[in-house]
Structure 1
């Protein structure tokens, strides 16, 4: 039976879709092909809008899920074309969907996490079994539903001789602590690229600050940084997770009110420093015998952010996960290929030590080809 899986990821940064073809037949997983696609501007705008309450949400969310599934299917077709493989050679697709709400344990004690997708349509479009809705079972079991990647990180990056720290910086940042003794912790640190991208789009018209070049021209505003760092979420103990429900433009606007005439480049520099500071504060709590902080996600491509992380974590070597054998933009998609494989083998995909769930659970709903 095939041990080839496709993983599809579109994260909170809303920068597009990453897909990988992963081969699990050897002693270690191997990514054989990678494909990515930017969101069409209208779809990106609608997905962003659906992060906040609005008119006719159910109808709009259903159509956005359809559009996202078609875009996912195009990435799958690109992977099949590049690999020369037919659809039936792939055991399953692990499809994350687009998170538009993440409120575990809130309101009624259970809360919810909501990822837009039409997995049935994706299965129809690709002819491949789809595993989706990968977070809600963990939430039902009392967990945060996030982060789910630390178990995968342990298998790929874990070492028996040191604690490895893996920092994923997408729209939100999360840290995996891979203990030399095999114990794994993980939690969301706070904002990743979401606030930086929003401010960059607002003031330059560009979707993100390439290489952090704009931030590098500004000066950090100490008063604003202090205000941002007072956010209670940053000081909660794990398990914890967050999203655009908290770190969003209205939240930022509240903190910016006393700094109404600030230079936009200085605000961008401060937001970059905010992400670096929130992440480094988490790292400081767990670095123990670590030598390396491996960074993945789009934040690994932000040279200014990486420089600030290195300055704030001087005892560690701050590198992109490329140096550990898996390119930074492939890690999360590969994790969802792994999660699909776990589901197809009826094996747990969560770590209660990370999410706080009552126990290990098989994650995801399966839509057969």
Structure 2
């Protein structure tokens, strides 16, 4: 069997992306893809858990781990149906889960994802690979970002220095030197859409800034931008990774104190923050970059792309769609690819990216029940 399913739910907390994919030599064949959106109630519950508000945190952690496991299973079943594919023809599901806390530094580094893979395997009947981050963490790495290995496999071109940026809730950068002698590197640059989404939700009650139109209507506050960029994270050397535990509404409100700005000016400044942090990272770590390939939800934000392009005028700006893979599905496909690597017994991390002591096979394998008899799956 050469067909895999990738499941991804990122820091934007908008739902679960599911992709059915094959990997013929040197390319990606996307058979079907769909998003299972989160309800407003579920999103609120997830935010409360991530922000550690309320009581009975362990109870809520366990409950949401179970509920998301079932929802991930439904997403996998739904995309199978869309592809006209029987579960028995799928080699494995690669499920990232949903990160509720990521603390990769200190004496006891850890990263927590929910979406019980036992339930995914049991309810779909398909072998599931999950818990991708913790083996890299055990080897001294950050456990993130993990997509650079896939970016390297898909986008590396000989003698051409490229970068790939995935702009989801957070933004992560992969630097492809185009030379076998130079290492692939990468790291999280900082917030992608997370602050933009949070601000427009707070001010206008909208889930996100469609096409960046609201940000485009405002004027950037250079003073606020400087205050935001003064956060020490932006000047940390790689390897580094981050998440909502650092960049969130509280972080923003703390830095807005003393500023009296129109709401759209704040939105424009947050868009410029995302663009600036990406551009500065490329200028600092990969000055020879000739092309930047954008994927993730941010690839469909023309205002954000214009801001990035203005800061990198000598760099060709592309989206992954130009290379045959729609930007919105890249991460889900990446976890299908990582599942394939795990079953093949091949490493999935890039030590130069995460800081791990070496290459490691990532993910725990949860065997499916397909072919184990009529009573092997619940109705």
TM-score range, shorter chain: over 0.9
The residue number in structure 1 matching 2:256 is: 256
Asked if 2 retains the 8 angstrom alpha-carbon contact of 1:18 and 1:330, the reply is yes
The residue number in structure 1 matching 2:205 is: 205
The residue number in structure 1 matching 2:233 is: 233
The residue number in structure 1 matching 2:299 is: 300
Corresponding residue SS for 1:366: strand
Q: After the TM superposition, which residues 162-241 of structure 1 pair with which residues of structure 2 at under 5 Å, given as runs?
A: 162-182=160-180, 183-241=183-241
Asked if 2 retains the 8 angstrom alpha-carbon contact of 1:184 and 1:354, the reply is yes
Deviates more, 1:118-127 or 1:50-59: 50-59
Asked if 2 retains the 8 angstrom alpha-carbon contact of 1:105 and 1:142, the reply is no
The residue number in structure 1 matching 2:127 is: 129
Q: CA deviation at 1:287?
A: 4.1
Corresponding residue SS for 1:243: coil
The residue number in structure 1 matching 2:374 is: none
Corresponding residue SS for 1:102: strand
Q: CA deviation at 1:318?
A: 1.4
Corresponding residue SS for 1:207: coil
**Does 2:68 align with 1:68?**
yes
Change (3 A) 1:319 1:27: closer
Q: After the TM superposition, which residues 328-367 of structure 1 pair with which residues of structure 2 at under 5 Å, given as runs?
A: 328-367=327-366
The residue number in structure 1 matching 2:377 is: none
Q: CA deviation at 1:325?
A: 1.7
Asked if 1 retains the 8 angstrom alpha-carbon contact of 2:69 and 2:114, the reply is no
**Does 2:33 align with 1:34?**
yes
Q: CA deviation at 1:37?
A: 1.7
The residue number in structure 2 matching 1:282 is: 281
Asked if 2 retains the 8 angstrom alpha-carbon contact of 1:28 and 1:156, the reply is yes
Asked if 2 retains the 8 angstrom alpha-carbon contact of 1:163 and 1:288, the reply is no
Q: CA deviation at 1:28?
A: 2.5
Q: CA deviation at 1:312?
A: 0.6
Q: Deviations over 1:56-77 (max 9, x none)?
A: 1111111112221222222212
Q: Deviations over 1:52-105 (max 9, x none)?
A: 223111111111122212222222122211221110100100001111111012
The whole-number CA distance in structure 1 between the counterparts of 2:345 and 2:201 is 43
The whole-number CA distance in structure 2 between the counterparts of 1:227 and 1:121 is 45
Q: Deviations over 1:161-213 (max 9, x none)?
A: 20111001111111000111132001010111111100010011111100000
Asked if 1 retains the 8 angstrom alpha-carbon contact of 2:11 and 2:194, the reply is yes
Q: CA deviation at 1:304?
A: 0.6
Q: CA deviation at 1:3?
A: 1.2
Q: What do you get for the CA RMSD once the two structures are aligned?
A: 1.1
The whole-number CA distance in structure 2 between the counterparts of 1:240 and 1:117 is 25
Q: CA deviation at 1:51?
A: 1.2
Asked if 1 retains the 8 angstrom alpha-carbon contact of 2:282 and 2:289, the reply is no
Q: Deviations over 1:101-159 (max 9, x none)?
A: 110122xx241001111111111111101111100110111100001111110111110
Q: CA deviation at 1:231?
A: 0.4
For residue 151 of structure 2, the aligned residue among 135, 141, 153 is 153
Corresponding residue SS for 2:327: coil
Q: Deviations over 1:235-258 (max 9, x none)?
A: 011000011111011111110011
Asked if 2 retains the 8 angstrom alpha-carbon contact of 1:111 and 1:139, the reply is yes
Asked if 2 retains the 8 angstrom alpha-carbon contact of 1:92 and 1:131, the reply is yes
Deviates more, 1:28-37 or 1:269-278: 28-37
Corresponding residue SS for 1:45: helix
Q: After the TM superposition, which residues 74-153 of structure 1 pair with which residues of structure 2 at under 5 Å, given as runs?
A: 74-106=74-106, 109-153=107-151
Give TM-score scaled by structure 2 length: 0.94
Asked if 1 retains the 8 angstrom alpha-carbon contact of 2:101 and 2:112, the reply is yes
- Structure 1: where are the runs of 5+ without partners? none
Corresponding residue SS for 2:33: strand
Q: CA deviation at 1:41?
A: 1.2
